[in-house]
Amino acid sequence: MLEHLELFFKSIFIDNMVFAVFLGMCSYLAVSKKVATAVGLGAAVIFVLAVTVPLNWLLDQYLLQPGALSWLGEEYASYDLSFLSFILFIATIATMVQLVEIVVEKFSPSLYNSLGIFLPLIAVNCAILGGSLFMQAREIPSLGLAFNYGLSSGIGWFLAILAIAAIREKIRYSAVPAPRRGLGITFIITGLMGIGFQSFGGMLTGDNEPPTVTEEVVEAVEMEPIKEDTKDPKETEESTEVIAGID
């Protein structure tokens, strides 16, 4: 139970898909102009991640890993199909996305219209494939935890796109210098939010362990210890929530 809780909060806040590993940035930037659309896409991402990560966990466990085929019999135990994982993972994801598209089109045509081109593009949202690949790289031990990981990563992505969409709705009334309008300022805000989210790094690690924020990120950075004086993160968080609340 404890490990479930830990993984849950870790994936939402510490290893946040957007702010810690920069996954799914394309749709994050493109669909965050309005809160309503962002919520729709965010929900779709949660659903697809929560389904595909456990599915891919099963594939990985019983098909792809070295020795995974031993349930077929002794002679298959030496097979290593792990080089096929990319193509199998992406096939699972593409199928699931097609399914979500059909369901959404049937039950919520308005959401379908507002998501437009981006629904099929969930298939090429790096957050989805990233979820499955991180699940494989981190060797998540059980199906339950894999589901948990997919769900919580999705929720983390959802929170991120909700926050940026709320901020972008408000920022329309601000006098942003012309060359920074739109994309430029969005990048900088995201960077600041990312710095804010870094402060969650100390949350689950206790006193002595170093923060694990970017453990798996390619950044071979000397981890800066989380400093006491990072006070803006909480402010950013609160103000984000307040803004979201107003909307």
* Residues at the site binding another protein, with contacts judged by CB under 8 A: 19-26, 29-30, 83-87, 90-91, 94, 120-121, 123-126, 128-130, 133-134, 136-137, 172, 177-188, 190-195, 197-198, 214, 216-222, 224
Asked if 173 contacts 158 with a C-beta cutoff of 8 angstroms, the reply is: no
CB of 1 to another protein, least distance (A): 28
Nearer to another protein, 19 or 158 (CB): 19
Asked if 192 contacts 62 with a C-beta cutoff of 8 angstroms, the reply is: no
Nearer to another protein, 70 or 205 (CB): 205
CB of 27 to another protein, least distance (A): 8
Nearer to another protein, 25 or 203 (CB): 25
Terminal CA-to-CA distance of the chain, rounded, Å? 35
Closest CA to 43 of 98, 107, 122, 102: 122
Q: Residue 14: in which H helix or E strand, if any? A: none
Nearer to another protein, 2 or 233 (CB): 233
Nearer to another protein, 2 or 221 (CB): 221
DSSP SS3 for 113: helix
CB of 181 to another protein, least distance (A): 5
CB of 4 to another protein, least distance (A): 23
Q: What is the 3-state secondary structure (H, E, C) of 125-170?
A: CHHHHHHHHHHHHCCCCCHHHHHHHHHHHHHHHHHHHHHHHHHHHH
Phi-psi region of 24 (alpha: psi -120 to 50; beta: other; left: phi over 0): left
CB of 171 to another protein, least distance (A): 11
The dihedrals phi and psi of 220, each to the nearest 5 degrees, come to: -90, 60
User: Token pair of 217, please?
Assistant: 């990120």
Judging by beta carbons within 10 Å of its beta carbon (0-12, 13-18, 19+), is residue 137 exposed, middle or buried? exposed
CB of 129 to another protein, least distance (A): 5
Nearer to another protein, 70 or 214 (CB): 214
